[in-house]
Amino acid sequence: MKLVVVALESELPGELPKGYAKLVTGVGKLNAAISLIQDFERWGIRYDCVINYGTAGGLPEHKGNFYGVHRVAQRDMDCSEFGIDKYITPYSNDPKYIECNVGHVNDISCVWDETITCGSGDSFSKPDEEFTVIDMEAYALAKVCKKYNLPFYCFKYVTDSGCPEEWDKMKDKGACYFKDKVLTYNEEMNT
């Protein structure tokens, strides 16, 4: 069984194919982490992997693209005034970036290379050159999966460059793309 994790039901509405469970966490890193841990505690770790799908912000040239994310960072962790690199949590052993599993969910048609980095943070932010895409949950989910030794895959559809109206217009396209290119393909591979 594969667990697909989304922040909002509206990002991936409806039922998923056989072999997939869906968890809707709510927005933000804390909601994402708490919801995933509660799911593990409630059901046990019965999953082969966790697949995070969600909409994301990106630079204008990224809008409308579907990305397989290579690594995630905590974009709002900044203790640089204390001599600590940005994105690193003080007094932890966490790396600057958490690597996602890539290329192992089969032949998915999306942009997938080592430059795709998602910056997660608890703020609605305009994208910059630092991250290919920005969201509010992926880092927390990746960190939980790393702790539980579960493969973590991350897919983002860029809906906007910091404009809520664009997000609302584009989010359905991303859901259709994810269902067609990730879920359908994997369902065919499992039969």
The whole-chain average pLDDT of the chain stands at: 87
Structure tokens at 43: 């059901």
The pLDDT tens digits for 2-26 are 999 999 999 999 999 999 999 999 9
Question: Domain of 83?
Answer: 2-190
CATH number, domain of 65, equals 3.40.50.1580
User: Is 27 within 8 Å of 156 (Cβ atoms)?
Assistant: no
The pLDDT tens digits for 57-87 are 988 888 999 888 999 999 999 999 999 999 9
The pLDDT tens digits for 23-55 are 999 999 999 999 999 999 998 878 999 999 999
Q: Which amino acid is at 165?
A: E
pTM higher than 0.85:
yes
Considering its fold, how many domains does the chain have in total? 1
15: left (phi over 0), alpha (psi -120 to 50) or beta: beta
In three-state secondary structure terms, 88 is: coil
Q: How far apart are CA 16 and CA 157, in angstroms?
A: 18
